[in-house]
Amino acid sequence: MGSTLPDFVVIEGPIGVGKSSLASRIALDFEADLVREEIEENPFLDHFYQRPSEAALSAQLFFLMQRTKQMQGLRQSSIFNHSKVADYLLEKDQLFAQVTLSPIEYDLYQQVFEHLVIDAPTPDLVVYLQAPVNTLMERIKKRGRHIERHIEPTYLERLNEAYANFFHHYSAAPLLVVNAADIDFINNEGDYEQLKTQILNTTSGRHYFNPLPFAS
């Protein structure tokens, strides 16, 4: 078993799957720097969840600027003093844009995206957490974020499909695909330890992990 965290690890997955919580715990466990999306800073997000057609472009462009700034900061500090753990992959910005924007809005978004000339660092490992929509809805409801109260299952279904398609073709970095439907890697130490072991042992290629839930 490996014992050293890769220099740059990305935790990804749809809303509610637990990527931010896992990224935070991994970063704390290995004394790594946490690169976290500040969802609450987006002033258009609440409006988007209530009336998607009215606020999708504004919300998406805000996220694009925020994520680009963070990734450029990582690129400028190319010699890492510590490992980095991020709770998003920059490429997922386009994934969300495809799901939320109309064709004409997406065309404008793409022009902005290309104009930014983003040179984000390539992760040493991507961990993609999967879960069905009903599980995502339960977790979203349980954590009780005010801004997420209007999220619809149909939106999560489209998002889940987009994620599955994206990672089916993803090959830019080693990839660990995790079935996160029945495990609790935040509150259950056994669940977390077996997932951590798998993360440390994934150094190349594509791997699928179906963990067995540990009794609490």
- pLDDT tens-digit map of 154-166: 999 999 999 999 9
Give domain status of residue 179, yes or no: yes
| Section 18-36 average pLDDT | 93
Give domain status of residue 214, yes or no: no
Contact 8, 128 (CB under 8 A): no
Can you give the pLDDT at residue 1?
A: 47
Q: What is the mean pLDDT of the chain?
A: 90
Amino acid letter, residue 203: T
Cβ within 8 Å of residue 47, ≥6 positions away? 54, 55, 58, 59
How do residues 32-72 score in pLDDT, each as one tens digit?
999 998 888 899 999 999 998 899 999 999 999 999 888 87
Backbone angles phi, psi at 27, to 5 degrees: -60, -45
User: How distant is the alpha carbon of residue 149 from its chain centre?
Assistant: 20
Of all residues in the chain, the percent with pLDDT exceeding 70 is 93
Q: Helices 52-76 & 103-116, crossing angle to 10 degrees?
A: 20
Cβ within 8 Å of residue 144, ≥6 positions away? none
Three-state SS string over 41-94 comes to HCCCHHHHHHCHHHHHHHHHHHHHHHHHHHHHHHHHCCCCCCCEEECCCCCHHH
Q: What is the pTM of this model?
A: 0.90
Give residue 125's pLDDT band: very low, low, confident or very high (50, 70, 90). Answer: very high
Can you give the pLDDT at residue 160?
A: 95
Can you give the pLDDT at residue 2?
A: 53
What totals of helices (H) and strands (E) does the chain contain, helices first? 8, 6
Can you give the pLDDT at residue 39?
A: 86
How do residues 171-211 score in pLDDT, each as one tens digit?
999 999 999 998 998 889 999 999 999 999 999 999 999 98
Give residue 135's pLDDT band: very low, low, confident or very high (50, 70, 90). Answer: very high
Query: Could you list the residue range(s) of the whole structural domain that residue 63 is in?
Result: 8-209
Give residue 117's pLDDT band: very low, low, confident or very high (50, 70, 90). Answer: low
Give domain status of residue 90, yes or no: yes
Give residue 115's pLDDT band: very low, low, confident or very high (50, 70, 90). Answer: confident
Give domain status of residue 70, yes or no: yes
Retrieve residue 215's tokens. Answer: 């009794």
Give domain status of residue 163, yes or no: yes
Tally the domains of the chain: 1
Can you give the pLDDT at residue 40?
A: 84
Can you give the pLDDT at residue 17?
A: 95
Please check the confidence at residue 3 and state whether its pLDDT lies above 80.
no
Please check the confidence at residue 104 and state whether its pLDDT lies above 90.
yes
Q: What is the CATH number of the domain that holds 120?
A: 3.40.50.300
Rounded Cα gap, residues 42 and 63, in angstroms: 7
Cβ within 8 Å of residue 86, ≥6 positions away? 8, 9, 10, 11, 23, 34, 35, 36, 123
Give domain status of residue 2, yes or no: no
Q: Which are the catalytic amino acids?
A: 87
Q: What are the C-alpha distances in Å from 202 to residues 6, 32, 117, 158, 164?
A: 10, 18, 30, 29, 20
Give domain status of residue 107, yes or no: yes
Give domain status of residue 3, yes or no: no
